Chains A and B, each alone.
Chain A
Amino acid sequence: MKRIATISAILLIVLCIMAANGDAARPRMKMTPQDTISPDALGAAVIKTIKISGNQAGNKRYPGVCENANGDRLVIYRGPNILYWYTFARKGASWSAPAVIPNQPTMKSCTSTDVEADSTGRFHCLWEDLQKTLIYASFLNGKWTTPTKVSSAGKHDVGGSIAVRSNDEVIIADVNFLRSPNNSKEIILYFKGKNDSYFAQKNITNDRESSTMPAVAVDPNDHVWVALKSDLDLHDTALITNLYHFDRNNSLIDSETLSVKSGWNFWPHIAANSEGKVMVSWVRSQNADHFTSLYNPETRKWGSIVKAGIGAPMKPWCTFWSKLAAHGKDFYLAAMNSGRYLRLMKFNEKTQRWANVATISDDPVYYFDLYSGNDQMLIAWDNANDPSNVYLTTVDVPALGPSTSRISGTVRKDSSGLSGVTMTGLPGNPATDTSGEYSADVEHGWGGTVRPQKSGYSFSPLSITYSNVTSNQTGQDYIAFIAIKSVANLQVEKRVERGFFNGYTLNILTWEANPENTALGLVISAQRVYRKARTEGNSKWARIAELAGSIRTYEDRNVASDSDYVYAVTCVDDKGNESAIY
């Protein structure tokens, strides 16, 4: 009996161990979304998942999701009949019945969905017809624009991404694939202004043969960032991640190559946070994981490459995909692990590590999209094993703080940006960068006067005064002038020239060259003499003479002997800039 009890106890222990091992080795982690909240990330955050697609028969794939500034949400996905469907929800209201986006061109298949919203609340949608054509349509107040092909005729697109500038300019990044003569690919940006009907095209460069899947983001300065994969050796044996950085005038500032190591680097994604920091993510075959790097706008350098620690198998290609979203200052990364379970992670900048936030799905995911709402991260996804539905998971995140507006612009001199101009009056007194651009976030309702300052320069306008700023103020530009100074040590001596009977009074002006102008290397091409009566206001200055730049004296003979005059002598440089009278 005792032996039986002993054997039973041993068996029980063995069974317990087996059971425990079985859980650990289980290939599919059966966790509810609530179970996956990371204690260091979201605290008491709530995760909810709903089925967003309707009951129509047919496969549903490639969802994209977005929330506009009004809190309205839109989900689009490739639905039955190989057409794109949508469902829309006003803030706080229920979702509309899924419907087909009207007037779509016939497609064989679709992929690469992306959605962004502009300041008016309009949703800008992009998807790729597997006939290699990018399709664009926008949605506002229940109405769709006619979906149109974006890419050039005769070329094939390989992925696409959409972003919106603060002035509501829509930007689409694309790689145009030209099969002949040499399978070359062009990285192209398309731009459509707020009131434009068509996209304008800007070729970035002829990139490497295997360049595909561009991702685009706009930072708070309206700079455009493009990430894409390229083939280092043209034989698909060393795919790298390339980054391009354009200013608000779409001029290329710099480009960078990350992840130049052996192995393949696929499918980058990119996002910019409210501080202007830019995060790029990609999946790397050699380490079978997702990697990221953070760009610091202050140092203008990319940080070290950080492993997300999520794992990524090499098989179903969609698992390579990762999506980044910035929520205020925070970056979130959605990516699938080795089991194709979709995870949401948050970047800790202090530790430079990604922390798990939630596992979004109990089921393997085929495709997904990530978007940062005001107080929720939105993840639209489909089921790899059951393509009959599309889901939307929301993860509560801290609501964005009091809304801020961004004041930004450029200080130019002779059409070039002027760096090092301190924008006094803005929070933090920011300075312009090497492109002459500046920006600062101000609190809702902010008011104040912004005055650019840099030694040796003057600006037009001298300042801009703001009151009750409630929206982004872009294009707050200034023109800088060399602060040419008037002459130095101006002396006036009243003299009389007369014979016995007749004569006149004259004022003798003498001065010296201003050493500040000399120090700046200014070429003084002319000097202008101004005069007014001492009792007159500044509006009464009258130019009485223009002299060569080398002259240091002037005799004003046209004076009344009983009047008292004030004089100013300004300098004019060879570009026509004139110093101030006083």
Chain B
Amino acid sequence: MNSMKSKILLITVGLFILGMAMALPVAAQDQGQDQGQVQSEELKQPRFRIGAYFEGYMINDDNLKDFYHHSQINLPGFEASVHTVYNIDVWASYRIYQDEAKTTFYEKTSKFRINAASIGLQYRPVRWKFIEPFVGAGLDLYSYKETVEAGSDISGASGNATGFYVQVGTYANIYKFIALTGFYRYNSVKKTLANPLPDGSKSMDLGGHEFGGGIVVRF
């Protein structure tokens, strides 16, 4: 029941964000027509941001950490955002989480991969010349997959999981079109499994803490 509720909530939030992404540019255009001064201010800031970053991902799930022996994986990420209105951006990100370990007895190589996508809103409450801090929240859309080296009797596994994130960070505008970015993000992406994990539980949390930095092109 709780799972159902969280899915409904996530879908609702997602639809809200998408609605915002589609509606806010239109609203901004209408607002500009009515308030020429404000529109002028808004149009001074870049409309799009595309960036790449490098981050540390500290996954929540203890079983994963135990099995793969890593509490943090460093991974690349990509983000893109589009400004809507009132310093609000529609923001999206994609990361690839990969880890590797040996099976418990035969020591076959087991590889685990998460394709982590996030989409949400980002708000920059103040816009200084060089610094534009931001906060954000949105949906996490994860797909995961485990593959075990050929010759093992263990079958692989894959699945999808959804959750949400909140983040805080800042852009540092170092050039007209270039900015640096740093952030902290927390994800909660829980999944109920059919088969129990080594500790006997059937609940898995692929979310975790992310922190990193990168470079952003804005235009």
Contacting residue for B157 out of A497, A502, A504, A557, CB 8 A? A502
Within 8 A of A (CB), among B92-144: 101, 103-106, 108, 110, 112
Cα–Cα, bound, A515→B67 (Å): 43
Given known contacts A495-B105, A506-B105, is B64 in contact with A500 (CB within 8 Å)? yes
A464 to chain B, nearest CB (A): 51
What's the least CB distance linking B190 to chain A, in Å? 15
Shortest CB–CB separation between residue A491 and chain B, in angstroms?
Answer: 16
- Hey, which chain B residues are within 8 Å of A503, CB to CB? 103-104, 154
Cβ–Cβ < 8 Å partners of B155 in chain A: 502
| Cα separation A490 to B103 with both chains bound (whole Å) | 26
B153 touches A501 (CB 8 A): no
Decide yes or no whether B54 CB sits under 8 A from chain A.
no
Q: Is A301 an interface residue (CB 8 A)?
A: no
The answer, yes or no, to whether B2 is at the interface (CB within 8 Å) is: no
Shortest CB distance A471–B (Å): 65
**Who on chain B is nearest to A497 by CB?**
B105
Q: Which residues of B contact A506 (CB under 8 A)?
A: 105
Closest B residue to A501 by beta carbon equals: B157
A504 and B104 alpha carbons, distance in the complex (Å) = 10
Contact B104 A498 (CB under 8 A): yes
Cross-chain contact A504 with B195 (CB below 8 angstroms): no
Q: How far is the CA of A463 from the CA of B206 in the complex (A)?
A: 68
Residue B183 interfacial (CB < 8 Å): no
In the complex, the chain A residue whose C-beta lies closest to that of B147 is A499
Q: Does A253 contact B (CB under 8 A)?
A: no
Complexed CA–CA distance, A50 and B152 (Å): 101
- A10 CB-CB contact with B under 8 Å: no
Q: Which of B137-181 contact A (CB under 8 A)?
A: 146, 148, 152-157
Q: Does A545 contact B (CB under 8 A)?
A: no
Complex CA distance for A495 and B155, rounded to whole angstroms:
18
**Which of B64, B104, B112 has most A Cβ within 10 Å?**
B104
B26 at the interface (CB under 8 A from A): no
Closest Cβ–Cβ distance, residue B83 to chain A (whole Å): 40
Judge whether B105 and A502 touch: CB under 8 Å.
Answer: no
Tell me which of A495, A496, A497, A557 has the highest count of chain B C-beta atoms within 10 A of its own C-beta: A497
Chain B hits for A499, CB < 8 A: 67, 103, 108, 110, 146, 148, 152, 154, 156-157
From residue B112, how far is it (CB to closest CB) to chain A in Å?
Answer: 6
Asked whether any CB of chain A lies closer than 8 Å to the CB of B193, the reply is yes
Question: Given A497-B154, A557-B153, A502 and B195 touching (CB < 8 A)?
Answer: yes
A445 CB to nearest chain B CB (Å): 65
Bound-complex Cα distance A495 to B107 (A): 13
Shortest B148–chain A CB gap in Å is 5
Report yes or no: B153 in contact with A500, Cβ–Cβ below 8 A: no
Does the CB pair A500–B195 fall under 8 Å? no
Give Cα distance in the complex from A497 to B195, angstroms.
15
- Separation in Å of the B120 CB from the closest CB of chain A? 28
Q: Decide: A498 and B154 in contact? CB cutoff 8 A.
A: yes
Q: Mark B17-54, 1 if CB is under 8 A from A, else 0.
A: 00000000000000000000000000000000000000
Distance (Å) between the CB of A317 and the closest chain B CB? 94
Shortest beta-carbon distance, B94 to chain A, in Å?
23
| Beta-carbon nearest neighbor of A506 in chain B | B105
Check B198 against A498 for contact (C-beta < 8 Å): yes
Chain A positions within 8 Å of B152 at CB level: 497, 499
Tell me how far the C-beta of B73 lies from the nearest C-beta in chain A, rounded to whole angstroms.
14
Query: Are A496 and B154 touching (Cβ within 8 A)?
Result: no
**B157 cross-chain contacts in A, Cβ below 8 A:** 499-502
Residue of B nearest to A508 (CB): B105
Check: B63 CB closer than 8 A to any chain A CB: yes
Nearest CB to that of A496 among chain B residues? B104
Please provide the chain A residues from 486 to 518 with a CB less than 8 Å away from any CB of chain B in the complex. 495-504, 506
Closest CB of chain A to B39's CB: distance in Å?
A: 53
A497 CB contacts on chain B under 8 angstroms: 103-106, 152-154
Contact with B along A392-429 (1 / 0, CB 8 A): 00000000000000000000000000000000000000
Residue of A at shortest CB range from B155?
A502
Contact between chains at A500 and B63 (CB < 8 Å): yes
Interface check B68, CB cutoff 8 A: yes
A500 touches B146 (CB 8 A): yes
Contact B103 A498 (CB under 8 A): yes
CB–CB A500/B105 < 8 A: no
Q: Are B104 and A500 in contact (CB under 8 A)?
A: no
Of chain B, the residue at the smallest CB distance from A557 is B153
Which residues from A are CB-within-8-Å of B101?
A: 500
Instruction: Name, among B105, B110, B146, B195, the residue most crowded by chain A CB atoms within 10 Å (CB to CB).
Output: B105
What are the residues of chain A within 8 A of B110 when measuring CB–CB? Answer: 499-500
Query: CA A557 – CA B68 in complex, angstroms?
Result: 24
| A495, A502, A506 — most chain B CB neighbours (10 Å) | A502
Contacting residues of chain A (201-252) with chain B, CB-CB under 8 angstroms: none
* Complex contact A500–B68 (CB within 8 A): yes
Q: How far is A496 from B193 in the complex, measured between Cα atoms in Å?
A: 19
- Distance from A45 Cβ to chain B, minimum over Cβ atoms (Å): 90
Chain B residue numbers with a CB within 8 Å of A504 are: 153-154
Task: Give the CA-CA distance A500 to B197 in the complex, in Å.
Answer: 7
In whole angstroms, what is the CA distance A535 to B212 when docked? 57
B72 to chain A, nearest CB (A): 17
Closest to A555 in B: B105
Residues from chain A with a CB closer than 8 A to the CB of B148 are 499
A498 CB to nearest chain B CB (Å): 5
Give 1 or 0 for each of B43-86: 1 = CB within 8 Å of chain A CB.
00000000000000000000110011000000000000000000
- Nearest-Cβ distance from residue A555 to partner chain B, whole angstroms: 9
> How far is B148's CA from A503's CA once the two chains are assembled, in angstroms?
11
Shortest CB-to-CB span from A554 to chain B, Å, is: 14
What's the nearest-Cβ distance from chain A to residue B142, in Å? Answer: 15
Partner of A501, one of B104, B105, B108, B193: B193
B154, B157, B195: which has the most chain A beta carbons within 10 Å?
A: B154
List of A residues within 8 angstroms of B156 by Cβ: 499, 501-502
Which single residue of chain B is at the shortest CB-CB distance from A505? B105
A–B Cβ pairs within 8 angstroms, 12 of them: A495-B105, A496-B104, A497-B152, A498-B104, A499-B154, A500-B110, A500-B146, A502-B157, A503-B104, A503-B154, A504-B153, A504-B154
- A501-B193, A504-B153 known, 16 other contacts, Cβ within 8 Å: A495-B105, A497-B105, A498-B154, A499-B67, A499-B108, A499-B110, A499-B154, A499-B157, A501-B156, A501-B157, A501-B195, A502-B156, A502-B157, A502-B195, A503-B103, A504-B154
A-B pairs with lowest CB-CB distance, top 10? A501-B157, A497-B105, A499-B110, A500-B67, A499-B148, A495-B105, A499-B154, A502-B154, A501-B146, A498-B104
Instruction: List the interface of chain B (C-beta within 8 A of A).
Output: 63-64, 67-68, 101, 103-106, 108, 110, 112, 146, 148, 152-157, 193, 195, 197-198
